[in-house]
Structure 1
Amino acid sequence: MTDITSTPVATAPIPARARRRIVVMGVSGCGKTTIGDLVARELGLPFLDGDALHPVENVAKMAAGTPLTDDDRWPWLATVGSTLANAGDGGLVLACSALKRSYRDAIRALAPDTVFLHLHGSKEVLGSRLEGRSGHFMPAALLDSQLATLEPLVGDEAGIVVDIAAPVNQVLNEALAGVAAVDGSTVTAGDSPGAAGSQPRQFDVDLQAAPFNLDDDAIAWVDSTIAGMSLGEKIGQLFINHNNDYSPEYLDGVLDTFHVGGMRYRPGPSAAVQEHIRYAQSKTSIPLLVASNPEMGGAGSCDDGTFVSTHLQAGSHPDKAIARQMGQVAGVETAALGCNWAFAPIVDIHYNWRNTVISTRAFGNTPEIVVERAKEYFDGISESPTACAMKHFPGDGMDERDQHVVTSYNTLGYEEWNRTYGHVYREMIGHGVQSIMIGHIGAPELSRHFRPGLPDRDILPATLAPELLQDLLRGELGFNGLILTDASQMIGLTQAMRRKDLVPATIAAGCDMFLFFRNPEEDFQYMLDGYKSGIITEQRLHDALRRILALKASLGLHRKPSAELVPPAESLGVIGSDAHRAVAAAIADKTVTLVKDTAGNLPITPETHKRIRLYGISGGADFTRADPLAYLDTVKAELENAGFEVHLFKTADQREAAGETGVNFMSVISEEATGDYADKYDAAFVFANVKGFAQEAAIRIKWSTPMAAEIPWYVTEVPTVFVSLNQPNHLIDVPMVKTAIHAHAGSPEAIRATIEKIMGKSEFQGTFNENVFCDSFDTRL
Structure 2
Amino acid sequence: MLNLKTAPFHLKDEDIQWVEQTIDSMSLNEKIGQLFINLGYRHDEEYLQEMLDKYHIGGVRYNPNTSEKIYEQNKYLHQQSKIPLLIAANMESGGNGACTDGTLIGTHVQIGATGDPKYAYQMGYVSGVEGAAVGCNWTFAPVVDINYNWRNPVTMTRCFADDPDDVLDMSKAYFKGICESGFAAAMKHFPGDGVDERDHHLLTSVNTLSCEEWDQTFGKVYKGMIEAGVQSVMVGHIKLPSYSMRLNANLAEEDLLPATLSPELVTGLLREQLGFNGLVLTDASRMIGLTSAMERSAILPQAIAAGCDMFLFFNDPEEDYQFMMDGYKNGVITEQRLHDALRRILGLKASIGLHRKQQEGTLIPPKSGLSRIGCSEHLAIAEEVADRSITLVKQTRPDLPIRPETHPRIMVYMLGDEMMFFGLKQAGVRTLVSEELKRVGFEVTLYESPLAEAERIKRERPGEPVAVQLFKRQKVTEFVNSFDAVFLFANVQQFAQENYARIKWLSPMGPEIPWYVSSMPTVFVSLHNPFHLYDVPMVKTYINAYEPTQNIIRQTILKIMGDSSFKGVSPVDAFCGVRDTRY
- What band does the TM-score fall into relative to the shorter chain? over 0.9
Instruction: Report the 3-state secondary structure (helix = DSSP H, G, I; strand = E; otherwise coil) of the residue aligned with 2:160.
Output: coil
Alignment correspondent of 2:558: 756
2:242 is the alignment partner of 1:445: yes
Residues 1:630 and 2:428 are matched in the alignment? yes
Residues 82-481 of structure 1 aligned to structure 2 (within 5 Å)? 204-481=1-278
Contact kept? 1:346, 1:361, Cα under 8 Å = yes
Shift of 1:639: 1.3
Contact 1:408 1:492 in 2 (8 A): yes
Q: Corresponding residue for 1:545?
A: 342
For 1:241, what is the secondary structure of its paired residue? strand
Aligned counterpart for 1:614 among listed residues 391, 396, 412: 412
- Counterpart among 381, 384, 392 of residue 594 in structure 1: 392
2:578 is the counterpart of 1:776: yes
SS in 2 for 1:647: strand
Q: Match of 1:728, SS?
A: coil
Say if 2:511 is the partner of 1:709: yes
Contact (CA 8 Å) 1:619, 1:691: kept in 2 or not?
Answer: no
Determine if the alignment matches structure 1 residue 666 to structure 2 residue 469. yes
Q: Distance in 1 between matches of 2:397 and 2:425?
A: 34
Counterpart of 2:535? Answer: 733
1:647 aligns with 2:454: no
Deviation at 1:648, TM superposition (A): 1.1
Question: Is the contact made by 1:651 and 1:665 (CA closer than 8 Å) also made in structure 2?
Answer: no
- Equivalent residue in structure 2 for 1:687, among 481, 489, 493: 489
Residue type at the aligned position of 1:247: D
CA deviation profile, 1:699-756 (whole Å, cap 9, x unmatched)? 1111222112222222133211000010001111111111100011112221111111
1:103-157 deviation line (CA, Å, top 9, x unaligned):
xxxxxxxxxxxxxxxxxxxxxxxxxxxxxxxxxxxxxxxxxxxxxxxxxxxxxxx
C-alpha spacing 1:770/1:315, structure 2 compared with 1 (3 Å):
closer
- SS of corresponding position for 1:357: coil
1:698 is the counterpart of 2:500? yes
Corresponding residue for residue 532 of structure 1? 329
Q: 2:294 aligns to what?
A: 497
For residues 394 and 335 of structure 2, what CA distance do their matches in structure 1 show? Answer: 59
Distance in 2, matches of 1:626 and 1:394, equals 29
- Is the aligned partner of 1:745 residue 2:547? yes
* Contact 1:269–1:304 under 8 Å retained in 2: yes
* 1:693 shift after superposition: 2.2
Query: Max radius of gyration: which structure?
Result: 1
The equivalent position to 1:507 in structure 2, one of 300, 304, 311, is 304
Judged with a 3 Å threshold, the aligned counterparts in structure 2 of structure 1 residues 390 and 673 are, in CA distance, closer, same or farther, namely: farther
With the length of structure 1 as denominator, give the TM-score of the two structures: 0.72
Q: Distance in 2 between matches of 1:257 and 1:713?
A: 62
Q: Deviations over 1:280-321 (max 9, x none)?
A: 111211000000001001112211111101111111123221
Check conservation: 2:111, 2:160, Cα contact below 8 A: yes
Matched with 1:578 is 376
% identity of equivalent residues: 53
**Matching of residues 39-54 of structure 1 within 5 Å:** none
* More displaced 10-residue stretch of structure 1: 341-350 or 308-317: 308-317
> How many Å separate the matches in 1 of 2:474 and 2:125?
48
Displacement after TM superposition at 1:564 (Å):
2.0
Question: Which whole-Å CA distance do the structure 2 matches of 1:304 and 1:544 have between them?
Answer: 35
Aligned-pair CA distance for 1:371: 0.4
Alignment: residue pair count? 577
The answer as to whether partners of 1:352 and 1:771 remain within 8 angstroms in 2 is no
In 1, the alpha carbon distance for the partners of 2:522 and 2:466 equals 26
Alignment correspondent of 1:569: 367
Change (3 A) 1:656 1:302: farther
What secondary structure is seen at the aligned counterpart in 1 of 2:469? helix
Q: Which secondary structure state, in structure 2, belongs to the residue aligned with residue 315 of structure 1?
A: helix
Aligned counterparts of 1:355 and 1:219: Cα–Cα separation in 2? 43
CA contact (8 A) 2:208 2:240 kept: yes
1:520 pairs, out of 305, 311, 317, with 317
Q: Deviations over 1:517-570 (max 9, x none)?
A: 001111100100000001000000000000000000011110123742112222
Contact 1:406 1:697 in 2 (8 A): no
Moved more, 408-417 or 567-576: 567-576
Render the CA deviation track for 1:171-198: whole Å, top value 9, x for unaligned.
xxxxxxxxxxxxxxxxxxxxxxxxxxxx
CA distance in 1, matches of 2:320, 2:215: 35
Counterpart contact for 1:291–1:343, Cα < 8 Å: yes
Partner of 1:126: none
- The one-character-per-residue Cα deviations of 1:582-614 (angstroms, maximum 9, x if unpaired) are 110111001100010111111111111111111
Which residue identity does 2:488 align to in structure 1? V
For residue 81 of structure 1, what is the aligned residue in structure 2? Answer: none
Note the C-alpha offset of 1:672: 4.6
The answer on whether the counterparts of 2:417 and 2:430 sit within 8 Å (CA) in structure 1 is no
Residue 41 of structure 1 is matched in structure 2 by none
Q: 1:401 touches 1:698 (CA, 8 Å); kept in 2?
A: yes
TM-score by length of 2: 0.96
CA contact (8 A) 1:618 1:629 kept: no
Q: Name the CA distance, whole Å, in 1 between partners of 2:302 and 2:474.
A: 58
Aligned to 1:316, the other structure's residue is in SS state helix
SS where residue 658 of structure 1 aligns? helix
Partner letter of residue 504 of structure 1?
Answer: P
State the distance in 1 between where 2:290 and 2:475 align.
48
* Larger relative contact order, structure 1 or 2 (CA cutoff 8 Å, min sep 6): 2
Distance 1:629 1:654, change over 3 A: farther
Kept in 2, the 8 Å contact 1:295–1:343? The answer is yes
Look up the SS of the partner of 1:616 in the other structure.
strand
Once residues 476 and 235 of structure 1 are traced to their aligned partners in structure 2, the CA distance between those partners, rounded to angstroms, is 28
Displacement of 1:624 in angstroms is: 5.0
Work out whether residues 294 and 343 of structure 1, in 8 Å CA contact, stay in contact via their aligned partners in 2. yes
Structure 2 unaligned spans of 5+: none
Q: Which runs of 5 or more residues in structure 1 are unaligned?
A: 1-203
Q: Indicate which of 464, 479, 496 corresponds to 1:677.
A: 479
Q: Does structure 1 retain, via aligned residues, the 8 Å contact 2:109–2:571?
A: no
In structure 2, what residue type is equivalent to 1:230?
Answer: S
> CA offset at residue 622 of structure 1?
4.3
- Whole-angstrom CA distance in 2 between matches of 1:368 and 1:593: 21
Secondary structure at the counterpart of residue 113 of structure 2: coil
Q: What SS does the aligned partner of 1:279 have?
A: helix
Structure 1 residues 624 and 443: alpha-carbon distance in aligned structure 2, compared to 1, 3 A threshold: closer
Q: Give the counterpart letter for 1:743 in structure 2.
A: A
Counterpart amino acid of residue 27 in structure 2: S
Letter in 1 for 2:273: E
* In 2, Cα distance between equivalents of 1:672 and 1:431: 61
CA-CA distance at 1:627 after TM superposition: 3.9
| In structure 2, distance between residues paired with 1:582 and 1:622 | 25
The code of the aligned residue for 1:245 comes to: R
Tell me whether 1:721 sits opposite 2:523 in the alignment. yes
SS of 2:50's equivalent in the other structure is: helix
